[in-house]
Amino acid sequence: MKYETYSEYGLSGVAAAESAFLTVWAGLGSWHSDLVLVGGLVPKYLCGDVSASRALPRPVTLDADLGIALGASLGQYGSLRLDLQAQGFRLSKDEFGGPRFLKRIGHLTIPVDFLTESPPATQGTAVVDDVAANILPGINRALASARSLTVRGLDLEGARQELTIRGCEVGPFLAMKLRAFARRQAPKDAFDILYTLLH
């Protein structure tokens, strides 16, 4: 879901998206080299201290987006879907019919989306290990140039986490956001671009 205005993204929803990411990242240790954080949480980690006084005080998102390499697979040693189900995420569909994983916490339903690149396709889905991922050009560049970042926060169980993650670098992030804005004209994409450029 994408809202029309910044004020519609409540603090609890944004915090839940971050907690969902921390939960998933902590539980998918075997997959880390094939994953990169993309989407609306990226500006929070790329742009430094979000508590600093700013014209735009914080980035906004209601989901966690992970880029994954098309060839990622643990084979006989594990299953991406089973690892996510063990964390309480169930497979569902987004508003466009694309695959996503959901977890219900109190009154919030928190989505986690997987994105991959599968040239020459520029849309649709591709199966990675045993999970259907949405196709998004730019994921391979995000994976290849990922920045190592230390992040801290609470996971969905309320446990404090301090994790080293692979986050999308600013160039691929802006390229993917510009493409997304050209395709769907969502104010959220314009905000992500502006926030990242300003901060």
- Can you count the helices (H) and strands (E) in the chain? 6, 9
Q: Residue 57 corresponds to which amino acid? A: P
Average pLDDT for 170-188? 93
**Contact at 8 Å (CB) between 39 and 113?**
yes
What pLDDT, in 10s, does the model give residues 120-130? 999 999 999 88
- Whether 144 shows a pLDDT value over 90: the answer reads yes
Q: Is 41 helix (H, G, I), strand (E, B) or coil?
A: coil
Of 15-24, 80-89, 97-106, 137-146, highest mean pLDDT: 137-146
- Cα–Cα dist 20/22, whole Å: 5
Q: Which of 20-24, 43-47, 105-109, 191-195 has the lowest mean pLDDT?
A: 105-109
Confidence grade of residue 104 (pLDDT, cut at 50, 70, 90): confident
Percentage with pLDDT > 70 across the chain: 93
Q: Token pair of 61, please?
A: 């998102």
| The domain over range 8-198 is classified in CATH as 3.30.460 | yes
pLDDT of residue 75: 63
pLDDT of residue 184: 87
Closest residue by Cα to residue 98 from 72, 63, 57, 73: 63
Average pLDDT for 33-39? 95
Angstrom distances, CA of residue 154 to CA of 16, 44, 162: 9, 15, 9
- Whether 50 shows a pLDDT value over 80: the answer reads no
- Number of Cβ within a 10 Å radius of residue 124: 10
- Number of Cβ within a 10 Å radius of residue 196: 17
Average pLDDT for 75-92? 85
- Number of Cβ within a 10 Å radius of residue 49: 8
